[in-house]
Amino acid sequence: MSETWSPSSWRERPAGQQPSWPDTGEVDAALKQLSGYPPLVFAGEARALRTELARVAEGRAFLLQAGDCAESFEAFNANSIRERLRLILQMAVVLTYSAGVPVVKVGRIAGQFAKPRSAATETVDGVELPSFRGHIVNDIAFTEAARTADPQRQVQAYHQSAATLNLLRAFTKGGFADLGRVHAWTQEFVAASAEGARYEELAGGIDRALRFMAACGLDTTTVPGLHETDVFTSHEALLLGYEEALTRQDSLTGDWYDCSAHMVWIGERTREIDGAHVEFFRGIHNPIGCKIGPDATPAEVLALCDVLDPERSPGRLTLITRLGKDRVRDSLPPLLEAVRDSGHPVVWACDPMHGNTFTSTGGRKTRDFTDILDEIAGFFAAHEQVGTHPGGVHVELTSDDVTECLGGAEKIVDGDLDLRYETVCDPRLNGRQSLDLAFRVAELLTTRR
Protein backbone atom coordinates (compact mmCIF):
# COMPACT_ATOMS: atom_id res chain seq x y z
CA MET A 1 0.00 0.00 0.00
CA SER A 2 1.50 3.33 -1.00
CA GLU A 3 1.93 5.93 1.71
CA THR A 4 0.37 8.79 -0.19
CA TRP A 5 -3.27 8.76 -1.07
CA SER A 6 -5.05 11.08 -3.43
CA PRO A 7 -8.48 10.87 -5.11
CA SER A 8 -6.64 9.55 -8.18
CA SER A 9 -4.07 7.23 -6.56
CA TRP A 10 -6.34 4.28 -7.43
CA ARG A 11 -5.24 4.81 -11.05
CA GLU A 12 -1.91 3.14 -10.27
CA ARG A 13 -3.68 -0.12 -9.36
CA PRO A 14 -5.57 -2.70 -11.39
CA ALA A 15 -9.26 -1.71 -11.43
CA GLY A 16 -11.70 -4.55 -12.04
CA GLN A 17 -15.16 -4.22 -13.60
CA GLN A 18 -14.53 -0.93 -15.39
CA PRO A 19 -16.33 -0.45 -18.73
CA SER A 20 -14.25 -0.29 -21.87
CA TRP A 21 -15.14 3.20 -22.99
CA PRO A 22 -14.64 3.56 -26.74
CA ASP A 23 -13.21 7.08 -26.57
CA THR A 24 -11.03 8.18 -23.66
CA GLY A 25 -11.31 11.84 -24.69
CA GLU A 26 -15.07 11.71 -24.13
CA VAL A 27 -14.60 10.04 -20.74
CA ASP A 28 -12.19 12.76 -19.64
CA ALA A 29 -14.63 15.45 -20.81
CA ALA A 30 -17.55 13.90 -18.88
CA LEU A 31 -15.49 13.52 -15.71
CA LYS A 32 -14.18 17.06 -15.98
CA GLN A 33 -17.77 18.27 -16.25
CA LEU A 34 -18.73 16.28 -13.12
CA SER A 35 -15.77 17.48 -11.12
CA GLY A 36 -17.03 21.05 -11.53
CA TYR A 37 -20.57 20.22 -10.40
CA PRO A 38 -21.85 20.70 -6.84
CA PRO A 39 -21.46 17.74 -4.46
CA LEU A 40 -24.59 15.58 -4.06
CA VAL A 41 -24.12 15.22 -0.30
CA PHE A 42 -22.12 17.13 2.26
CA ALA A 43 -19.29 15.92 4.45
CA GLY A 44 -21.22 16.80 7.61
CA GLU A 45 -24.06 14.48 6.56
CA ALA A 46 -21.65 11.62 5.91
CA ARG A 47 -20.18 12.22 9.37
CA ALA A 48 -23.69 12.15 10.89
CA LEU A 49 -24.26 8.74 9.29
CA ARG A 50 -20.90 7.57 10.64
CA THR A 51 -22.02 8.55 14.12
CA GLU A 52 -25.28 6.65 13.71
CA LEU A 53 -23.45 3.59 12.39
CA ALA A 54 -21.13 3.75 15.40
CA ARG A 55 -24.25 3.17 17.51
CA VAL A 56 -25.09 0.18 15.31
CA ALA A 57 -21.59 -1.22 15.90
CA GLU A 58 -22.20 -0.97 19.64
CA GLY A 59 -25.57 -2.69 19.41
CA ARG A 60 -27.50 0.49 20.22
CA ALA A 61 -29.14 0.86 16.78
CA PHE A 62 -30.08 -1.34 13.81
CA LEU A 63 -29.24 -0.76 10.13
CA LEU A 64 -31.77 -1.12 7.33
CA GLN A 65 -30.09 -0.73 3.93
CA ALA A 66 -32.48 -1.31 1.06
CA GLY A 67 -33.44 -0.43 -2.47
CA ASP A 68 -32.98 -1.41 -6.08
CA CYS A 69 -30.31 -3.74 -7.34
CA ALA A 70 -29.86 -1.19 -10.14
CA GLU A 71 -31.72 2.06 -10.56
CA SER A 72 -33.09 2.64 -14.03
CA PHE A 73 -33.05 5.72 -16.26
CA GLU A 74 -36.52 4.68 -17.47
CA ALA A 75 -38.33 3.98 -14.19
CA PHE A 76 -37.44 7.46 -12.95
CA ASN A 77 -40.39 9.45 -11.62
CA ALA A 78 -41.79 10.94 -8.42
CA ASN A 79 -44.13 8.01 -7.78
CA SER A 80 -41.44 5.40 -7.85
CA ILE A 81 -39.16 7.41 -5.53
CA ARG A 82 -42.00 8.11 -3.07
CA GLU A 83 -43.17 4.50 -2.98
CA ARG A 84 -39.69 3.11 -2.38
CA LEU A 85 -39.24 5.62 0.42
CA ARG A 86 -42.63 4.76 1.90
CA LEU A 87 -41.72 1.07 2.00
CA ILE A 88 -38.37 1.71 3.70
CA LEU A 89 -40.09 3.93 6.29
CA GLN A 90 -42.72 1.28 7.00
CA MET A 91 -40.11 -1.43 7.42
CA ALA A 92 -38.11 0.85 9.71
CA VAL A 93 -41.07 1.53 12.03
CA VAL A 94 -41.73 -2.19 12.44
CA LEU A 95 -38.05 -2.81 13.16
CA THR A 96 -37.71 0.14 15.55
CA TYR A 97 -40.62 -1.08 17.63
CA SER A 98 -39.27 -4.63 17.83
CA ALA A 99 -35.61 -3.81 18.30
CA GLY A 100 -36.37 -1.07 20.79
CA VAL A 101 -33.51 0.94 19.30
CA PRO A 102 -33.30 3.50 16.47
CA VAL A 103 -33.20 2.15 12.93
CA VAL A 104 -30.62 3.77 10.65
CA LYS A 105 -32.19 4.02 7.20
CA VAL A 106 -29.89 3.86 4.18
CA GLY A 107 -31.31 3.56 0.68
CA ARG A 108 -29.67 1.84 -2.27
CA ILE A 109 -30.87 4.90 -4.10
CA ALA A 110 -29.84 8.20 -5.75
CA GLY A 111 -26.73 6.71 -7.35
CA GLN A 112 -27.05 2.91 -7.39
CA PHE A 113 -26.51 2.47 -11.11
CA ALA A 114 -23.26 0.66 -11.93
CA LYS A 115 -23.23 -3.14 -11.97
CA PRO A 116 -20.33 -5.61 -11.84
CA ARG A 117 -20.81 -8.54 -14.21
CA SER A 118 -19.56 -12.13 -14.15
CA ALA A 119 -18.59 -11.90 -17.85
CA ALA A 120 -17.47 -8.91 -19.91
CA THR A 121 -19.55 -9.99 -22.91
CA GLU A 122 -22.81 -11.77 -23.58
CA THR A 123 -23.49 -14.02 -26.58
CA VAL A 124 -26.98 -14.47 -28.02
CA ASP A 125 -27.56 -16.54 -31.18
CA GLY A 126 -23.88 -16.35 -32.02
CA VAL A 127 -23.71 -12.57 -31.61
CA GLU A 128 -21.28 -11.35 -28.94
CA LEU A 129 -21.79 -7.90 -27.39
CA PRO A 130 -20.54 -6.14 -24.23
CA SER A 131 -22.52 -7.04 -21.10
CA PHE A 132 -25.04 -4.57 -19.68
CA ARG A 133 -23.28 -2.69 -16.85
CA GLY A 134 -26.11 -0.49 -15.59
CA HIS A 135 -27.68 2.64 -17.05
CA ILE A 136 -24.71 4.75 -15.95
CA VAL A 137 -22.69 2.87 -18.61
CA ASN A 138 -24.89 1.43 -21.38
CA ASP A 139 -28.39 0.20 -22.20
CA ILE A 140 -29.86 -3.25 -21.74
CA ALA A 141 -31.15 -3.72 -25.34
CA PHE A 142 -29.12 -6.31 -27.21
CA THR A 143 -27.78 -4.14 -30.02
CA GLU A 144 -24.29 -2.89 -30.64
CA ALA A 145 -25.35 0.76 -30.23
CA ALA A 146 -27.18 0.12 -26.93
CA ARG A 147 -24.36 -1.89 -25.41
CA THR A 148 -21.60 0.57 -26.32
CA ALA A 149 -20.46 2.37 -23.17
CA ASP A 150 -21.42 6.06 -23.31
CA PRO A 151 -19.50 8.37 -20.92
CA GLN A 152 -22.25 11.02 -20.96
CA ARG A 153 -24.48 8.55 -19.12
CA GLN A 154 -22.41 9.36 -16.01
CA VAL A 155 -23.57 12.97 -16.26
CA GLN A 156 -27.17 11.79 -16.63
CA ALA A 157 -26.75 9.54 -13.58
CA TYR A 158 -25.51 12.53 -11.59
CA HIS A 159 -28.59 14.58 -12.53
CA GLN A 160 -30.96 11.71 -11.77
CA SER A 161 -29.26 11.22 -8.39
CA ALA A 162 -29.59 14.94 -7.62
CA ALA A 163 -33.31 14.98 -8.45
CA THR A 164 -33.92 11.77 -6.48
CA LEU A 165 -32.08 13.11 -3.45
CA ASN A 166 -34.00 16.36 -3.68
CA LEU A 167 -37.30 14.52 -3.44
CA LEU A 168 -36.04 12.28 -0.62
CA ARG A 169 -35.04 15.34 1.36
CA ALA A 170 -38.42 16.98 0.74
CA PHE A 171 -40.42 13.90 1.70
CA THR A 172 -38.43 13.02 4.82
CA LYS A 173 -38.62 16.55 6.20
CA GLY A 174 -42.02 17.64 4.92
CA GLY A 175 -44.43 15.44 6.86
CA PHE A 176 -44.55 12.38 4.60
CA ALA A 177 -42.46 10.43 7.12
CA ASP A 178 -44.74 11.26 10.07
CA LEU A 179 -44.78 8.21 12.33
CA GLY A 180 -48.56 8.18 12.62
CA ARG A 181 -48.92 8.25 8.86
CA VAL A 182 -46.35 5.55 8.24
CA HIS A 183 -48.01 3.31 10.79
CA ALA A 184 -51.45 3.88 9.21
CA TRP A 185 -50.10 2.47 5.92
CA THR A 186 -48.78 -0.58 7.74
CA GLN A 187 -52.15 -1.11 9.37
CA GLU A 188 -53.67 -1.23 5.88
CA PHE A 189 -51.19 -3.97 4.98
CA VAL A 190 -52.01 -5.90 8.15
CA ALA A 191 -55.75 -5.57 7.55
CA ALA A 192 -55.73 -6.34 3.85
CA SER A 193 -53.20 -9.13 3.29
CA ALA A 194 -53.01 -12.77 4.30
CA GLU A 195 -49.44 -12.47 5.59
CA GLY A 196 -50.36 -9.20 7.36
CA ALA A 197 -52.86 -10.98 9.58
CA ARG A 198 -49.97 -12.81 11.27
CA TYR A 199 -48.64 -9.49 12.46
CA GLU A 200 -51.81 -8.04 13.98
CA GLU A 201 -50.40 -8.28 17.46
CA LEU A 202 -47.15 -6.50 16.64
CA ALA A 203 -48.95 -3.77 14.68
CA GLY A 204 -51.44 -3.43 17.55
CA GLY A 205 -48.51 -2.88 19.89
CA ILE A 206 -47.23 -0.01 17.76
CA ASP A 207 -50.74 1.42 17.71
CA ARG A 208 -50.98 1.35 21.49
CA ALA A 209 -47.53 2.92 21.82
CA LEU A 210 -48.58 5.79 19.54
CA ARG A 211 -51.82 6.33 21.47
CA PHE A 212 -49.92 6.27 24.75
CA MET A 213 -47.51 8.90 23.45
CA ALA A 214 -50.40 11.05 22.19
CA ALA A 215 -52.06 10.78 25.60
CA CYS A 216 -48.83 12.03 27.17
CA GLY A 217 -48.92 15.03 24.85
CA LEU A 218 -46.43 13.71 22.31
CA ASP A 219 -48.22 14.45 19.07
CA THR A 220 -46.40 13.05 16.02
CA THR A 221 -47.18 16.15 13.99
CA THR A 222 -45.55 18.52 16.48
CA VAL A 223 -42.59 16.51 17.80
CA PRO A 224 -39.84 16.78 15.14
CA GLY A 225 -38.36 13.36 15.96
CA LEU A 226 -41.72 11.75 15.21
CA HIS A 227 -42.62 13.93 12.25
CA GLU A 228 -39.45 13.84 10.19
CA THR A 229 -36.55 11.48 9.73
CA ASP A 230 -33.23 10.94 7.96
CA VAL A 231 -32.85 8.59 5.03
CA PHE A 232 -29.26 8.36 3.82
CA THR A 233 -28.10 7.36 0.33
CA SER A 234 -25.66 4.65 -0.72
CA HIS A 235 -24.41 2.71 -3.71
CA GLU A 236 -21.63 0.40 -4.84
CA ALA A 237 -18.85 2.81 -5.83
CA LEU A 238 -17.83 0.75 -8.82
CA LEU A 239 -16.94 3.34 -11.48
CA LEU A 240 -13.90 4.90 -9.93
CA GLY A 241 -13.64 7.75 -12.44
CA TYR A 242 -17.16 8.89 -11.53
CA GLU A 243 -16.46 8.59 -7.79
CA GLU A 244 -13.17 10.43 -8.09
CA ALA A 245 -14.89 13.28 -9.94
CA LEU A 246 -17.31 13.72 -7.03
CA THR A 247 -14.66 13.48 -4.31
CA ARG A 248 -14.10 16.76 -2.51
CA GLN A 249 -12.00 18.07 0.34
CA ASP A 250 -14.08 19.14 3.33
CA SER A 251 -13.33 22.75 4.17
CA LEU A 252 -13.97 22.14 7.88
CA THR A 253 -11.66 19.18 8.52
CA GLY A 254 -9.49 19.02 5.40
CA ASP A 255 -10.55 15.38 4.94
CA TRP A 256 -11.64 13.92 1.61
CA TYR A 257 -15.21 12.73 1.12
CA ASP A 258 -16.79 10.96 -1.82
CA CYS A 259 -19.76 13.30 -2.16
CA SER A 260 -21.70 11.04 -4.58
CA ALA A 261 -23.52 9.45 -1.59
CA HIS A 262 -23.43 9.35 2.19
CA MET A 263 -22.19 5.76 2.24
CA VAL A 264 -20.49 3.78 -0.52
CA TRP A 265 -19.48 0.13 -0.59
CA ILE A 266 -17.00 -2.17 -2.34
CA GLY A 267 -18.58 -5.11 -4.17
CA GLU A 268 -17.67 -8.76 -3.73
CA ARG A 269 -15.91 -8.83 -7.11
CA THR A 270 -13.65 -5.81 -6.55
CA ARG A 271 -12.40 -6.18 -2.98
CA GLU A 272 -8.84 -7.35 -3.81
CA ILE A 273 -6.56 -5.93 -1.16
CA ASP A 274 -4.12 -4.52 -3.76
CA GLY A 275 -6.83 -3.39 -6.14
CA ALA A 276 -7.93 0.06 -7.19
CA HIS A 277 -11.20 0.01 -5.23
CA VAL A 278 -9.60 -0.67 -1.86
CA GLU A 279 -7.02 2.03 -2.65
CA PHE A 280 -9.74 4.59 -3.42
CA PHE A 281 -11.87 3.70 -0.40
CA ARG A 282 -9.05 3.82 2.14
CA GLY A 283 -8.65 7.57 1.62
CA ILE A 284 -12.23 8.78 1.71
CA HIS A 285 -13.76 9.57 5.08
CA ASN A 286 -17.34 8.47 4.39
CA PRO A 287 -18.77 5.52 6.24
CA ILE A 288 -17.99 2.63 3.88
CA GLY A 289 -19.12 -0.93 3.32
CA CYS A 290 -17.47 -4.02 1.91
CA LYS A 291 -19.29 -7.11 0.69
CA ILE A 292 -17.99 -10.40 2.05
CA GLY A 293 -18.76 -13.52 0.01
CA PRO A 294 -18.59 -17.22 0.95
CA ASP A 295 -14.96 -17.71 -0.06
CA ALA A 296 -13.54 -14.89 2.06
CA THR A 297 -11.09 -16.18 4.68
CA PRO A 298 -10.67 -14.63 8.14
CA ALA A 299 -7.18 -13.47 7.08
CA GLU A 300 -8.59 -11.69 4.04
CA VAL A 301 -11.28 -9.99 6.07
CA LEU A 302 -8.75 -8.86 8.69
CA ALA A 303 -6.49 -7.47 5.96
CA LEU A 304 -9.44 -5.46 4.61
CA CYS A 305 -10.25 -4.17 8.11
CA ASP A 306 -6.63 -3.07 8.63
CA VAL A 307 -6.48 -1.13 5.36
CA LEU A 308 -10.00 0.31 5.41
CA ASP A 309 -10.25 1.07 9.14
CA PRO A 310 -6.71 1.40 10.49
CA GLU A 311 -7.89 3.67 13.31
CA ARG A 312 -10.55 1.19 14.47
CA SER A 313 -13.18 3.86 14.38
CA PRO A 314 -16.74 2.65 15.10
CA GLY A 315 -19.11 3.48 12.22
CA ARG A 316 -16.36 3.66 9.62
CA LEU A 317 -16.66 0.12 8.24
CA THR A 318 -19.69 -2.06 7.63
CA LEU A 319 -19.03 -5.65 6.57
CA ILE A 320 -21.96 -6.85 4.49
CA THR A 321 -21.92 -10.64 4.46
CA ARG A 322 -23.61 -12.46 1.54
CA LEU A 323 -22.72 -16.05 2.21
CA GLY A 324 -25.81 -17.95 1.10
CA LYS A 325 -28.24 -19.85 3.31
CA ASP A 326 -26.20 -23.08 3.13
CA ARG A 327 -22.91 -21.53 4.22
CA VAL A 328 -23.84 -18.75 6.63
CA ARG A 329 -24.03 -20.93 9.75
CA ASP A 330 -20.57 -22.47 9.19
CA SER A 331 -18.72 -19.66 7.45
CA LEU A 332 -19.83 -16.66 9.46
CA PRO A 333 -18.77 -17.55 13.05
CA PRO A 334 -15.01 -17.79 12.25
CA LEU A 335 -15.18 -14.37 10.54
CA LEU A 336 -17.03 -12.84 13.49
CA GLU A 337 -14.52 -14.28 15.96
CA ALA A 338 -11.48 -13.14 14.00
CA VAL A 339 -12.77 -9.57 13.62
CA ARG A 340 -13.92 -9.40 17.24
CA ASP A 341 -10.53 -10.63 18.49
CA SER A 342 -8.71 -8.09 16.33
CA GLY A 343 -10.63 -5.23 17.98
CA HIS A 344 -12.12 -3.81 14.79
CA PRO A 345 -15.49 -2.28 15.78
CA VAL A 346 -17.29 -3.08 12.50
CA VAL A 347 -20.99 -3.11 11.77
CA TRP A 348 -22.11 -6.54 10.59
CA ALA A 349 -24.95 -6.47 8.07
CA CYS A 350 -26.60 -9.41 6.36
CA ASP A 351 -27.22 -9.29 2.61
CA PRO A 352 -29.43 -12.38 2.20
CA MET A 353 -29.93 -11.76 -1.52
CA HIS A 354 -26.70 -12.27 -3.45
CA GLY A 355 -25.71 -15.65 -2.03
CA ASN A 356 -29.12 -17.12 -2.81
CA THR A 357 -29.57 -16.33 -6.48
CA PHE A 358 -30.30 -19.13 -8.93
CA THR A 359 -31.80 -19.65 -12.38
CA SER A 360 -35.42 -20.81 -12.46
CA THR A 361 -36.52 -23.63 -14.73
CA GLY A 362 -37.90 -20.98 -17.07
CA GLY A 363 -34.46 -19.34 -17.26
CA ARG A 364 -35.10 -16.33 -15.00
CA LYS A 365 -32.57 -15.22 -12.39
CA THR A 366 -34.50 -15.49 -9.12
CA ARG A 367 -34.37 -15.92 -5.33
CA ASP A 368 -36.71 -17.76 -2.98
CA PHE A 369 -38.25 -15.82 -0.09
CA THR A 370 -37.70 -18.83 2.20
CA ASP A 371 -33.97 -18.93 1.41
CA ILE A 372 -33.69 -15.20 2.10
CA LEU A 373 -35.30 -15.64 5.53
CA ASP A 374 -33.13 -18.68 6.16
CA GLU A 375 -29.90 -16.73 5.62
CA ILE A 376 -31.10 -13.96 7.94
CA ALA A 377 -31.97 -16.52 10.61
CA GLY A 378 -28.51 -18.08 10.18
CA PHE A 379 -26.93 -14.64 10.49
CA PHE A 380 -28.73 -14.01 13.79
CA ALA A 381 -27.80 -17.49 15.04
CA ALA A 382 -24.11 -16.98 14.22
CA HIS A 383 -24.03 -13.69 16.13
CA GLU A 384 -25.82 -15.27 19.06
CA GLN A 385 -23.22 -18.04 19.10
CA VAL A 386 -20.22 -15.69 19.00
CA GLY A 387 -21.69 -12.94 21.15
CA THR A 388 -21.49 -10.19 18.52
CA HIS A 389 -24.20 -7.78 17.33
CA PRO A 390 -26.29 -8.61 14.28
CA GLY A 391 -26.15 -5.00 13.08
CA GLY A 392 -28.60 -4.94 10.22
CA VAL A 393 -29.94 -6.18 6.94
CA HIS A 394 -29.17 -5.18 3.36
CA VAL A 395 -31.87 -6.06 0.86
CA GLU A 396 -32.91 -5.51 -2.76
CA LEU A 397 -36.53 -4.47 -3.03
CA THR A 398 -39.11 -2.40 -4.81
CA SER A 399 -42.54 -1.27 -3.69
CA ASP A 400 -43.96 -2.36 -7.06
CA ASP A 401 -46.02 -5.50 -7.37
CA VAL A 402 -43.34 -7.37 -9.32
CA THR A 403 -42.88 -11.13 -9.63
CA GLU A 404 -39.13 -11.52 -9.41
CA CYS A 405 -38.55 -13.51 -6.19
CA LEU A 406 -40.32 -16.82 -5.56
CA GLY A 407 -42.55 -17.55 -2.59
CA GLY A 408 -43.93 -15.20 0.03
CA ALA A 409 -47.57 -15.19 1.02
CA GLU A 410 -48.65 -14.79 -2.61
CA LYS A 411 -46.75 -18.04 -3.29
CA ILE A 412 -45.09 -16.82 -6.45
CA VAL A 413 -43.97 -19.87 -8.44
CA ASP A 414 -41.65 -20.39 -11.43
CA GLY A 415 -44.45 -19.93 -13.92
CA ASP A 416 -45.36 -16.51 -12.46
CA LEU A 417 -41.93 -14.97 -12.91
CA ASP A 418 -42.68 -13.81 -16.46
CA LEU A 419 -45.81 -11.90 -15.36
CA ARG A 420 -44.09 -8.80 -13.98
CA TYR A 421 -40.34 -9.33 -14.11
CA GLU A 422 -39.18 -5.72 -14.38
CA THR A 423 -35.76 -5.43 -12.76
CA VAL A 424 -32.86 -4.20 -14.87
CA CYS A 425 -30.53 -6.45 -12.88
CA ASP A 426 -31.10 -8.78 -9.89
CA PRO A 427 -34.56 -10.00 -8.73
CA ARG A 428 -36.07 -7.81 -5.98
CA LEU A 429 -38.56 -8.48 -3.23
CA ASN A 430 -41.89 -6.82 -4.02
CA GLY A 431 -43.72 -4.53 -1.58
CA ARG A 432 -45.61 -7.32 0.19
CA GLN A 433 -42.61 -9.61 0.45
CA SER A 434 -40.56 -6.70 1.83
CA LEU A 435 -43.02 -5.86 4.60
CA ASP A 436 -43.38 -9.54 5.39
CA LEU A 437 -39.58 -9.71 5.68
CA ALA A 438 -39.51 -6.70 8.02
CA PHE A 439 -41.99 -8.42 10.34
CA ARG A 440 -39.94 -11.65 10.30
CA VAL A 441 -36.76 -9.76 11.17
CA ALA A 442 -38.79 -7.98 13.86
CA GLU A 443 -39.65 -11.38 15.35
CA LEU A 444 -35.97 -12.33 15.41
CA LEU A 445 -35.12 -9.02 17.08
CA THR A 446 -37.87 -9.43 19.69
CA THR A 447 -36.68 -12.93 20.53
CA ARG A 448 -33.14 -11.63 20.93
CA ARG A 449 -34.28 -8.81 23.17
Provide, rounded to whole angstroms, the least separation between the CB of residue 441 and ligand PEP.
Answer: 18
Q: What minimum distance in Å lies between the beta carbon of 334 and Co ion?
A: 26
Nearer to ligand PEP (CB atom), residue 269 or residue 329: 269
Window contacting Co ion (CB under 5 A); options: 67-75, 82-90, 207-215, 434-442: 67-75
> Which residue among 67, 130, 267, 427 contacts ligand PEP (CB under 6 A)?
267
Name which of 181 and 365 has its Cβ closer to ligand PEP. Answer: 365
Site for ligand PEP in 298-357 (CB under 6 A): 322, 354
The yes or no reply on residue 291 touching ligand PEP (CB under 6 A) is yes
User: How many residues line the site for ligand PEP (CB under 6 A)?
Assistant: 10
- Closest CB to Co ion among residues 45, 71: 71
198 binds, among ligand PEP, Co ion, none (CB under 5 to 8 A by kind): none
Residue closer to ligand PEP (CB basis): 26 or 300: 300
From the list 62-70, 95-103, 129-137, 361-369, the region that binds Co ion by CB under 5 A is 62-70
Decide: is 69 part of the binding site for Co ion (CB under 5 A): yes
Q: What is the 3-state secondary structure (H, E, C) of the chain?
A: CCCCCCCCHHHHCCCCCCCCCCCHHHHHHHHHHHHCCCCCCCHHHHHHHHHHHHHHHCCCCEEEEEECCCCCCCCCCHHHHHHHHHHHHHHHHHHHHHHCCCEEEEEEECCCCCCCCCCCEEEECCEEEECCCCCCCCCCCCCHHHHCCCCHHHHHHHHHHHHHHHHHHHHHHCCCCCHHHHHHHHHHHHHHCHHHHCCHHHHHHHHHHHHHHHHCCCCCCCCHHHHCCCEEEEEECCCHHHHHHCEEECCCCCCEEECCCCEEEECHHHCCCCCHHHHHHHHCCCCEEEEECCCCCHHHHHHHHHHHCCCCCCCCEEEEECCCCCCHHHHHHHHHHHHHHHCCCCEEEECCCCCCCEECCCCCEECEHHHHHHHHHHHHHHHHHHCCCCCEEEEEECCCCCCCCEECCCCECHHHCCCCCCCCCCCCECHHHHHHHHHHHHHHHHHHC
Spatial contact of 139 and 124, defined as CB atoms under 8 Å apart = no
Q: Which does 153 bind (CB under 5 to 8 A by kind): Co ion, ligand PEP, none?
A: none
Among 426, 428, 437, 438, binds Co ion (CB under 5 A): 426
Q: Which range binds ligand PEP by CB under 6 A, 129-137, 145-153, 265-273, 405-413?
A: 265-273
Quick check: 116 binds ligand PEP (CB under 6 A)?
Answer: yes
The smaller minimum CB distance to ligand PEP, of residues 122 and 195, is found at: 122
Quick one: which of 150, 178, 258, 268 contacts ligand PEP (CB under 6 A)? 268
Site string for ligand PEP, 83-112 (x = CB under 6 A): ------------------------------
With CB under 6 A as the contact rule, the residue among 53, 61, 69, 296 that binds ligand PEP is 69
CB under 5 to 8 A by kind: which of Co ion, ligand PEP, none does 340 bind? none
State the nearest-atom distance from the C-beta of 320 to ligand PEP, in Å.
7
Q: Which residues contact 81 (CB under 8 A, 6 or more apart)?
A: 109, 164, 167, 168, 171
User: Which range, of 71-79, 192-200, 212-220, 267-275, touches ligand PEP by CB under 6 A?
Assistant: 267-275
Can you give the binding site for ligand PEP, defined by CB under 6 A?
A: 69, 116, 236, 267-269, 291, 322, 354, 426
